[in-house]
Structure 1
Amino acid sequence: MPLLIGTSGWQYRDWRGGLYPQHLPQRLWLEEYAAHFATVENNNAFYRLPTAETFADWRRRTPDGFVMAVKASRYLTHIKRLRTPEEPVHRLMEHAAALGDRLGPVLLQLPPNLKADPGTLDACLRCFPRTVRVAVEPRHPSWWQRERELRAVLERRDSALCWADRDSRPVAPLWRTASWGYLRFHGGRATPAPRYGRTALHSWAERVREAWPDEDDDVYAYFNNDTGGAAVTDARAFGRQTLLRR
């Protein structure tokens, strides 16, 4: 099981003096990050879609084998609410294509007040190229009440239901819907906050290994608890947990 572990974003000022040497210019932080992790989740695209030139620059600055997941624009997920997705999806993929072989999955994080609409989700997923992996993170409880329809859509598109954690607990059903997996860690219960404890990380490592036992199953895991460098510490610890139990 290839497990790629990283953080959600890499440009956090309070990581200076930790992951980033005190005097390292911020313009070199991506290179330093890529020396420690094999993947990153790019949150910047959610707030403002970077230009193709920016994506191309990120490709140039990262090594072979590095993977950048891209969080889809809030224009698509929060403003359009997945409706008439053709243009925003095309624009996103046109820009992100400049990552070349660095392009990883696209994440659709749905608004917490977006109620279940499997048909609209299916129409949106249909707009993505078949070669692009798409993970979906629903957040309204009504999605879980329409399990059969939701799972059918995701499985048909080989789209991963995002396994999300908050307070060291799953916040959604742990359904495997694709040949690959996608995890997001929003914050644990350990001290200092928002760190994850060893037991929580061990439990997640066990869940991942049980759900994706095949050596060819790709799983992407991103820590979104950036405060105080917790994401960096926990991503490294999670990597050690998975290595110990292979």
Structure 2
Amino acid sequence: MRKEVLIGCSSFNNRYWKGIFYPENLPSSKWFEFYSQHFETYEFNGSFYKFPTVRILENWYNKAPENFIFSIKVPKEITHIRKFNDCKNLIQDFYDICKTGLKEKLGCVLFQFPPGYHFTLENLQKIVANLDPEFKNVIEFRHESWWIPEVWNIFSENNITFCSVSHPQLPKTIFADFPLIFIRLHGTPKMFYSSYSNEELIFIKDKIMNKTAFVYFNNTASEAGILNALEFQNEYKKQWQS
């Protein structure tokens, strides 16, 4: 994968964006088409709630333009319910469905663990043992016990990305030393709602310049997500072209 920063959102079907991003007269059935004309990637979260089928992902593949990239979240059955216990086959099934359905448009595979999933050496080893290194695996933790060099080093050795997360209760580290950077901006101090300042966006941009990164805005419960995504994209392109 060439060095580039792909910027997008974790949702697109958003009525708050009508008149701000989507034209007033554009039907919602055309919103993804419009979104994909302005951004090169999308973080697919529907798979977290329901295990996807090849047919569903093929439909998304066909909707998206050439060179568009999807990152996709692993079902909560794996991360939240089973917590990686006896999940090897289930995870492989998910990989296979994503690879078959999204083909070359598959970007990262995101494993988001719940706040109650704390660091233990056993949990760390379980994660590494269950992942297929052929895929761009990203791990997002919601408990700060994972923010330790032991985890970062083992992830780096196994080509796993530690997700950089902007979250009200978590460290704001931008993990720029991984070969692949993955940033999720959930909104802070009010999760899913708060907007990021221009200064905050420039700080992130400077950290990942000339790197390979995915940046997703998940502060999409209001208009903040799309406005921040557009602003960040403009800031990045401005410096890239200068």
Please tell me the TM-score bracket, short chain as reference. Answer: 0.7 to 0.9
Q: For the residues of structure 1 that align with 2:166 and 2:13, how far apart are their CA atoms?
A: 22
Report if aligned partners of 2:174, 2:204 keep a CA contact under 8 Å in 1: no
Q: Does 1:63 find its partner at 2:91?
A: no
Q: For the residues of structure 1 that align with 2:121 and 2:178, how far apart are their CA atoms?
A: 16
Match of 1:6 in 2: 8
**Which range moves more in the overlay, 119-128 or 77-86?**
119-128
Match of 2:221 in 1: 227
Q: For the residues of structure 1 that align with 2:166 and 2:23, how far apart are their CA atoms?
A: 30
Q: In the TM superposition, what is the alpha-carbon distance from 1:92 to its structure 2 partner?
A: 1.4
Match of 1:42 in 2: 44
Cα shift readout 1:48-83 (whole Å, capped 9, x = no counterpart): 122110100100111111000001111111111122
Q: In the TM superposition, what is the alpha-carbon distance from 1:96 to its structure 2 partner?
A: 1.3
**Which range moves more in the overlay, 75-84 or 22-31?**
22-31
Q: For the residues of structure 1 that align with 2:86 and 2:18, how far apart are their CA atoms?
A: 42
**Which range moves more in the overlay, 9-18 or 169-178?**
169-178
Report if aligned partners of 2:68, 2:105 keep a CA contact under 8 Å in 1: yes
| TM-score, normalised by the number of residues in structure 1 | 0.86
Q: For the residues of structure 2 that align with 1:99 and 1:200, how far apart are their CA atoms?
A: 33
Report if aligned partners of 1:6, 1:38 keep a CA contact under 8 Å in 2: yes
Q: For the residues of structure 1 that align with 2:64 and 2:77, how far apart are their CA atoms?
A: 28
Indicate the SS of the match to 1:65.
coil
Report if aligned partners of 1:125, 1:134 keep a CA contact under 8 Å in 2: no
Q: For the residues of structure 2 that align with 1:186 and 1:94, how far apart are their CA atoms?
A: 29
Match of 2:158 in 1: 157
Letter in structure 2 aligned against 1:194: S
Q: For the residues of structure 2 that align with 1:170 and 1:115, how far apart are their CA atoms?
A: 13
Indicate the SS of the match to 1:111.
coil
Q: In the TM superposition, what is the alpha-carbon distance from 1:195 to its structure 2 partner?
A: 1.3
Q: In the TM superposition, what is the alpha-carbon distance from 1:170 to its structure 2 partner?
A: 6.8
Cα shift readout 1:126-159 (whole Å, capped 9, x = no counterpart): 4333321011111212222xx2431232112211
Count of matched residue pairs: 235
Match of 2:127 in 1: 124
Match of 2:230 in 1: 236
Q: What is the correspondence of 1:137-152 to structure 2 with a 5 Å cutoff?
A: 137-144=140-147, 147-152=148-153
Q: In the TM superposition, what is the alpha-carbon distance from 1:172 to its structure 2 partner?
A: 4.5
Indicate the SS of the match to 1:183.
strand
Query: What is the RMSD of the two structures over their aligned residues, measured on CA atoms?
Result: 2.2
Unaligned runs of 5+ residues in structure 1 are: none
Cα shift readout 1:8-66 (whole Å, capped 9, x = no counterpart): 12222322333323343333322111111000101111111221101001001111110
Report if aligned partners of 1:42, 1:71 keep a CA contact under 8 Å in 2: yes
Unaligned runs of 5+ residues in structure 2 are: none
Identity over the aligned pairs, expressed in percent? 25
Report if aligned partners of 2:74, 2:112 keep a CA contact under 8 Å in 1: yes
Letter in structure 1 aligned against 2:133: R
Indicate the SS of the match to 1:32.
helix
Indicate the SS of the match to 1:228.
coil
